Structures are given as structure tokens and as C-alpha cells.
Amino acid sequence: MLRRIYDWCIDAAHKRYATWIMGSVSFAESSFFPVPPDVMLIPMSLARPERAWFYAVLCTLTSVAGGIAGYAIGALLYDSVGQWLIQLYGYGDKVEAFRAGYAQYGALIILLKGLTPIPYKLVTITSGFAGYDIWLFILFSLIARGGRFFIVAILLNRYGTAIRAAIERRLGFWVAVGTALLVLGFVIALRAF
């Protein structure tokens, strides 16, 4: 099953609709969806390393746009949708402490959490809820998310052939590592949020 999904992502890199799907996943991940765009970014960049830069730009812009949607959820809909999403991910009791920390460390929080496997949607929703300056939020999101996706693009553009061979040789292992990082991100967020 993993091989079929991986092969589909590799093959999709040559189809026009794949960038739309990747952009949609990137957008959704920044506001409500738990799966990061890396599940498509990595295989598509491996299939077409010359387009890794384009994919990084696409993920950055759609992630920031999704972050603005998450910000709006926090700012406009926190009492209903925003609070439901925060409760869904089990972070309800930690929102107030996080909100208070925003007054002092908002820029650092956005920059650091935007680069890590910590679910970015929590930062976007809480930024809106905390009333963080929207323009600074957008600027720091562009830096953090762009940094994250361009690091992937640089590595895959430069070392894509070797990385692809290593991934294909031990696909199950690398999927397990990716899953562990995602779970670790949620665990860290539970403790740090």
C-alpha cells in the first residue's frame, strides 16, 4: 500500500492536477488538516528535482494563505469553530498560557513553530485568537514556512537522486520516520503549547 501511494505521488508530479492537490493540502494543513504537505512535496520533488523550487514556492504561498484562514478562525470564529478545533487536538487547557506568551514572544513562536513538525494550525488559530498583528504574522509565516519548504527543496534539488534511491530502498522505514516526526510534533505541541 505504501508503495502504491508513493508511486502515485511520483507519477502525479508529471500531471497538472498534482500541484493543485499539493497546494490544497498545504493550505488546509495550516488551518485545520493534520497531514503536512511534505507527503506530496517530497515525492514530487524527487520525481522532478528541477521543479523543487516551484513546489517550495507553491507550498509556502498556500501555507501562508491557509495560515491567514487559521488566523481568521482564531480571530473571528474562536468561540465556535476555533475552540472546537483546539479541543479536537486536545489543547484546550493550554490556550490561555499560550495566549499570554504571545504578548512577549509572538514573533519567536511563529518563527520556531513554523519551522518544526509542531502542527502549524495551532499557531495560526492562536495568533488570531491572541490578536497578534496580522502583517507581522504574515511576514513571520512567510519566513518560517518558506524556510521549511526551501530547506526541503534545496536538499531534494541537490541530492534528490541519492535521497530517492535511499527512500525507495527502505520506504517503510522512511514512512515510519515521517510518521514518528508528525506524532512527535503533536506531543511537543501538547507539552509546549
Residue 192 has pLDDT above 60, yes or no: no
Higher pLDDT: 134 or 152? It is: 134
Q: Which triple of cell numbers denotes residue 107?
A: 514573533
Please compute the mean of the pLDDT values over residues 57-81 and round it to a whole number: 91
C-beta atoms surrounding 188 within 10 Å? 15
pLDDT one-digit tens code per residue, 118-135: 778 888 988 898 889 999
Report the candidate in 138, 167, 130, 140 with the shortest Cα–Cα distance to residue 38. Answer: 167
State in Å, rounded, how far the first CA of the chain is from the last one.
34
